[in-house]
Amino acid sequence: MLLAVNDLTVCYGAITALREVSVAIEPGEIVTLIGANGAGKTTLLRTISGLLKPVSGSVTWCPPPKKEDGDKTLEYFGASRELVGLRPDQIVRLGISHVPEGRQIFADLTVKDNLMLGAFTRRGKKEIEEGLEKCFSIFPVLLERKIQRAGTLSGGEQQMLAVGMALMSRPKALLLDEPTAGLSPVAARTILAQLARINARFSTTVIVVEQNVLAALDIVERVVVLRSGTIVFDGRSSDLKQKQDLWSYF
């Protein structure tokens, strides 16, 4: 298990946005969170990333081991940590990057400068260059546009840049909130395909909130459906697609 959310309750004043939500995410999974507006999807991501403080419950980060070359013993990225109470920047350093809705980039800076801002967890020139190479391999258009002002990019390219900035922090888990919002159908399909590629190529765990339900179900094996702050379905996307009452979940 990579990430464990247990009995999480989050409120906005008198309004309960999440009510005793529990979900476990395995390393290397790609999972979509779907549900109607106000179901609690964004609240869940914001709580995991430290932007919101829950009323009760826990969010535990369990970083996986990595094996060194040769016969060396397993070396852990870090001990299990409780995320509730940590600052967002501390959570990023642990290996969780959050791409919020709205393509929050720095419009007046170049593409490369935006990516460099996402590299604050990296140490030294070599690590930064490796991060840039990784981003450009996933999003070649960013290499072509690297000295271009970010605000002049198309909507799809700006979303690629937002994801690229998150990748620069070397995340083990990537949280994305509505990455295809406001994009053309072609650009939306491209973004979702690239998320699947990131997951497959780098074993990065991906948790994506998506309103484009059918398109999202095509790229994931697991789906979690939220309704009115509670989980009403957690299982294989193929099982959900076969349900004749699919849209009753919304």
- Domains, the chain, with CATH or none: 1-95+213-250 (3.40.50.300)
Separation between Cα atoms, residue 33 and residue 151, nearest integer Å = 29
CA distance 162 to 182: 14
pTM above 0.85, yes or no: yes
Residue in this structure with the two tokens 């991501």, named with its chain if needed: 45
DSSP labels for 146-196?
TTSBGGGS-HHHHHHHHHHHHHTT--SEEEEESTTTT--HHHHHHHHHHHH
Q: Would you say 34 and 210 are in contact if contact means Cβ atoms under 8 Å apart?
A: yes
Question: In tens digits, what is the pLDDT along the chain, a chain of 250 residues?
Answer: 899 999 999 999 999 999 999 999 999 999 999 998 899 999 999 999 999 999 999 999 987 665 554 444 444 455 789 999 999 999 999 999 999 988 889 999 999 999 999 888 877 888 899 889 999 999 999 999 999 999 999 999 999 999 999 999 889 999 999 999 989 989 999 999 999 999 999 989 999 998 888 888 888 989 999 999 999 999 998 888 787 666 666 6
Report residue 221 as tokens: 């094996």
Q: What letter represents residue 140's amino acid?
A: P
Q: What residues contact 74, with CB distance under 8 A and at least 6 apart?
A: 65, 66, 67
* Dihedral over Cα of 81, 91, 112, 190: its sign: positive
Is residue 238 within 8 A of residue 32, CB to CB? The reply is no
- Strands of the chain, DSSP E: 3-12, 15-25, 30-34, 56-61, 65-67, 74-76, 81-82, 96-99, 173-177, 205-209, 222-227, 230-236
